[in-house]
């Protein structure tokens, strides 16, 4: 038991000495510079000669750049974060070539996150103290929670956010926490919405974490002050940091809320069924409420994915074309699309009254249970293009009864399970019996 080990990052705040702050700021600058230079070289080689440049080639260039006069300052900082950023650039290109993400963008001092990654050769870890390369004193880390005993970080990432706060993230190997045993049947379906952040199949509605009134007041005040400052002045920079601090606090609270919610769900249930919502829509949303809700949902889903893996729970991601919100969870009848503002509806087949979100969550739960029962083993999907298709015999997925729309559901039907694979049918029988 407990054989499996996972990599976990533990993030802490730390307070650098003025000297350390200067060194780290310089390192961040060099990381950005090297990343941008390598990106330019790679882009040009591709545009002009259709030639791909790999990590090894850029690494050799880095050595040459350090010898040039105008870039000699690159030798003042540890070389490891510079090489790491070349590796990151390489994987950014890899995921661009496999069409997982867009073309790598240049890093900017204002827009991009400032960070530097140190691998094992570039830091010393002794008695719980962390000393980075080229530094004499250990970092003054606030250990807000304990590291796993005997943990030895394999990678250390130092970063500074827009509010000027410093963080260090330690990547360590860890055994997943003691699994709390739950009844095998404990399962939940989760529907993401706008009115509530999520609705659980138990009927519980979790509201969206809202901006508290004091927060929105403070944010408005800070933004007003920023608007009054002279452009480019020191006071403007100060005011900008203040706005960033309020934003950071709001984001922290939201994250905290989502952590508590996802941990609770994963601890209580053996099976978690969620909907595969298109996250790419995130960017082009005009309404703020919508985009905040989407961001929360994307983050919650990410947390559910890795926490399910830690706790040995099963996460079923149901195909986005599964008509979860317009199928009756009592009789399985699929109705016409519902306008977004319809919160409640009545089934024409069996007359059941449904709360839109609760009904959808129940359908997701049933779909998840059907997948699980058939042994589909739909894993948390890191790559949205990977979907559970085909049954044991290698046949393509059969579609749920009455489930229209492109793309198959993740549910699979195997002989002998014909009736139970239809979401809602089990409950339907129970309700009638
Ligand atoms: Zn019905």
> Is 191 known to be catalytic?
yes
> Is 391 known to be catalytic?
no
- What pLDDT is stored for residue 377 in this prediction? 45
pLDDT category of residue 110 using cuts at 50, 70 and 90: confident
- What pLDDT is stored for residue 177 in this prediction? 62
Exposure string over 251-285, b if 16+ CB within 10 A, otherwise e: eeebeebbeebbbebbebbbbbbbbbbeeeeeeee
Distance 405 CA to ligand 1 centre (A): 20
- What pLDDT is stored for residue 408 in this prediction? 37
Look over the chain and give the mean of its residue pLDDT values, rounded to a whole number.
Answer: 80
122 pLDDT above the threshold of 90: yes
Distance 335 CA to ligand 1 centre (A): 9
Distance 369 CA to ligand 1 centre (A): 19
- What pLDDT is stored for residue 278 in this prediction? 64
Greater pLDDT, 408 or 288: 288
Say which of 117, 174, 294, 357 is annotated catalytic.
Answer: 357
> Is 305 known to be catalytic?
no
pLDDT category of residue 170 using cuts at 50, 70 and 90: very high
pLDDT category of residue 7 using cuts at 50, 70 and 90: confident
- What pLDDT is stored for residue 405 in this prediction? 37
- What pLDDT is stored for residue 214 in this prediction? 67
Distance 428 CA to ligand 1 centre (A): 9
210-230: average pLDDT: 82
Digit-coded pLDDT (tens) for 367-397: 999 888 876 544 444 433 333 333 333 333 3
0.85 exceeded by pTM: no
pLDDT category of residue 148 using cuts at 50, 70 and 90: confident
- What pLDDT is stored for residue 182 in this prediction? 65
Q: Is the dihedral of CA 387, 393, 396, 401 positive or negative?
A: negative
Tokens at 202, concatenated: 């138990």
Are the C-beta atoms of residues 366 and 189 closer than 8 Å to each other? yes
Say which of 275, 276, 305, 314 is annotated catalytic.
Answer: 275
């Amino acid at each position: 038991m407990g054989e499996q080990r996972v990599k976990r990052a533990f993030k802490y705040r730390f307070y650098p000495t003025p000297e350390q702050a200067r060194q780290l700021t310089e390192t961040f600058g060099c990381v950005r510079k090297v990343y941008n230079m390598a990106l330019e070289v790679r882009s040009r080689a591709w545009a002009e000669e259709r030639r791909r440049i790999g990590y090894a080639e850029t690494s050799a260039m880095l050595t040459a750049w350090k010898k040039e006069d105008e870039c000699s300052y690159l030798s003042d900082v540890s070389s490891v974060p510079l090489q790491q950023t070349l590796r990151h650039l390489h994987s950014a290109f890899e995921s661009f070539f496999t069409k997982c993400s867009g073309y790598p963008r240049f890093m900017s001092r204002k827009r991009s996150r400032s960070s530097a990654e140190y691998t094992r050769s570039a830091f010393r870890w002794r008695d719980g103290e962390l000393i980075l390369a080229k530094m004499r004193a250990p970092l003054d880390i606030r250990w807000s929670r304990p590291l796993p005993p005997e943990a030895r970080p394999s990678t250390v990432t130092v970063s500074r956010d827009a509010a000027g706060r410093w963080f260090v993230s330690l990547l360590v190997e860890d055994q997943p926490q003691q699994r709390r045993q739950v009844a095998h049947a404990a399962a939940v379906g989760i529907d993401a919405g706008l009115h509530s952040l999520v609705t659980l199949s138990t009927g519980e509605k979790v509201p969206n974490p809202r901006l508290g009134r004091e927060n929105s007041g403070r944010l408005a005040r800070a933004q007003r002050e920023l608007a009054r400052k002279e452009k480019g002045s020191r006071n403007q920079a100060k005011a900008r940091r203040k706005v960033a601090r309020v934003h950071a606090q709001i984001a922290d609270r939201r994250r905290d809320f989502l952590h508590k919610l996802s941990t609770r769900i994963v601890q209580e249930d053996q099976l978690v069924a969620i909907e595969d919502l298109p996250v790419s829509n995130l960017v082009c949303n005009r309404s703020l409420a919508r985009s905040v809700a989407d961001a929360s949902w994307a983050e919650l889903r990410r947390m559910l994915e890795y926490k399910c893996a830690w706790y040995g729970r099963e996460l079923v991601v149901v195909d986005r074309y599964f008509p979860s919100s317009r199928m009756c969870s009592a009789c399985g009848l699929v109705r016409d699309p519902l306008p977004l503002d319809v919160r409640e509806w009545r089934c024409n087949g069996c007359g059941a009254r449904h709360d839109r979100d609760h009904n959808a969550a129940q359908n997701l739960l049933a779909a998840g249970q059907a997948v699980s029962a058939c042994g589909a083993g739909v894993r948390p999907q890191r790559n949205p293009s990977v979907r559970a298709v085909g049954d044991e015999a290698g046949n393509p997925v059969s579609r749920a009864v009455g489930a229209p729309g492109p793309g198959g559901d993740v549910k699979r039907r195997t002989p002998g399970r014909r009736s139970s694979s239809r979401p809602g049918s089990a409950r339907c029988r129970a309700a009638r019996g």
